[in-house]
Chains A and B, each alone.
Chain A
Amino acid sequence: MTRPVVIAGASLAGLRAAQALRNSGHEGPVVVVGEEEHLPYTRPPLSKELLAGEQEPEQCALPSGRVPDIEWRLGTAATGLDTGARELILADGERLAYDKLVIATGARPRHWPGDPIALDGVHTLRSVDDALALRAAFESGPRLVVVGAGFIGCEVAATARGRGLDVTLIDVAPHPVPALGEAVGARVAELHRSRGVDLRLHTSVDGFEGDGRLEAVRLADGTRLDADVAVVALGAIPNTDWLVESGLELQPGVVCDATLAARDAEHVFAAGDAAAWPHPMADGGVIRIEHWTNAAEQGAAAARNLLAAPADRTPYEAVPYFWTDQYDLKVQSVGLPARAERTTVLEQDGERLVLGGERGGRLIAAIAFNAPRRLPFYRGQLATMPPMEDVAAAVRADAKALGA
């Protein structure tokens, strides 16, 4: 019997891997294993349109039906990997033999440290089921505390304000969206405050209180914030624990070479949130990216490389892109903003602006506020990561720059 190509993970990266296999002419069997019961769906609306009640789960479905002849094994988690026998071990004990494997198991929310919180009203947000539960909890107009002011925390806060809830947004960091640096964070902080969010920075949460149901969030300084619903938004951790005994190096993503082939096993590739690979913009260092576009593009790239002979594989070098929508602000980023040492405004026209992130005096990221059409210019710049003075000169020479 022909061993199938097996894709562990039935979300965006897994779907795009399956799609790329078929588009590349692969005719052999393809099996996609997914822990959730759902066919692949897109997650960005979960903290925004779906949570706001503007979209329903059907509208989040990814077009999986368009990919022909895929065996979907849903509701089945991968629990182990035997790279010698080339078998994926499933939660029900089955050993699924593979010819090639794509690991695309994504990430999950980082939970509150310590024992699980056994209180109704405390949520995390990752899956469509999480989003529907939180949406239902919003119905009664609760007092909401969001712990963690990263992308998900800020988006949830913005959506909740849109629904008229009282929102307290807390982070231990000095500004929200810490990954984008202080200059961006200060603007996002101002935005949330102007929309009525009680934003508490430099603030540690000590615990959650209640008797069966959440009643208050306790801060490290002893303050008790009365709350009906809390969202714990402390970032994500890749779903790679099931690989701990596989012999694959985990950092904590599966460590791959530049072509997304796992470094420590043949026939194994990785894509999306669960993959770590060397990127030229990180001086060849291994990075991991938890954004939509990376999952989509890496899923396809891993599948194409899986079909190719090793010498014909293509390094995955795309300039990372992500966005966040909060109120009427769209923030878009190209490059690696988390590696920037400093972020400054490069062009501006009123509320619309572009900030540049620099590292070692060179451009490593651009972050646009409500200025989508400026991104291609910066993608072009980032291809060579020029010195900041050259970027500034190119902006001055560009008739389409904001405020030009």
Chain B
Amino acid sequence: MTKVHVDMNLCQSHGECTYVAPEIFELGDDDVLRWKEEVDPSLREKAQEAADVCPMLAIRVED
């Protein structure tokens, strides 16, 4: 599985990740990010794309 880390000290709920990878990330009604910490490797590229668009550089993807 591919691991998705989000540093919640950095996350400011921009929501860019929810736009490029809605399979992994969503903003709750409280505007707090929720995400899947382990995803199928087929979603690795999407997870990395989310990391790349995160303005706070809060997302890290690991194999």
Contact = CB atoms under 8 A, between A and B. Distances in A.
Interface in B1-54: 12-16, 18-19, 27-29, 31, 52-53
A155 to B, nearest CB: 14
Contacts of A44: 55
Interface in A254-295: 292-293
Nearest to B28: A373
B52 A372 contact: no
A254 B21 CA distance: 31
A375 B15 contact: yes
A323 interface: yes
A332 B57 CA distance: 17
Nearest to A321: B16
Contacts of B15: 332, 372-373, 375-376
Given A296-B52, A376-B19, A379-B19, A330 B12 contact: yes
A323 B53 contact: no
B28 A292 contact: no
Contacts of B19: 375-376, 379
A126 to B, nearest CB: 17
Contacts of B28: 373
Interface residues of A, number: 24
A74 interface: no
B27 A372 contact: yes
Interface string A304-328: 0000000000000000010101000
A187 interface: no
A379 B18 CA distance: 12
B31 A371 contact: yes
A300 B48 CA distance: 13
Contacts of B18: 376
Contact of B27 (A325, A330, A373, A379): A373
Given A323-B14, A330-B12, A373 B55 contact: no
Nearest to A44: B55
Most A CB contacts (10 A, CB to CB) among B12, B16, B18, B28 go to: B16
Given A323-B14, A379-B19, A296 B53 contact: yes
Nearest to A61: B57
A297 B53 contact: yes
A300 B52 contact: yes
A150 B31 CA distance: 26
A328 to B, nearest CB: 11
Contacts of B13: 330, 372-373
A325 B12 contact: yes
B11 to A, nearest CB: 10
B19 to A, nearest CB: 6
A400 interface: yes
A293 B16 contact: yes
A63 to B, nearest CB: 7
B61 to A, nearest CB: 11
A348 interface: no
Contacts of A321: 16
A199 to B, nearest CB: 25
B53 A372 contact: no
Contacts of A400: 29
Nearest to A322: B55
Interface string A365-402: 00000111101100100000000000000000000100
For the complex of A and B, list the 8 residue pairs with the smallest distance between their C-beta atoms, beginning with the closest: A373-B27, A372-B13, A372-B15, A372-B31, A373-B31, A292-B55, A375-B15, A372-B27
18 contacts: A16-B52, A44-B55, A63-B57, A293-B16, A293-B53, A296-B52, A297-B53, A323-B14, A332-B14, A332-B15, A372-B15, A372-B27, A372-B31, A373-B13, A376-B18, A376-B19, A379-B19, A400-B29
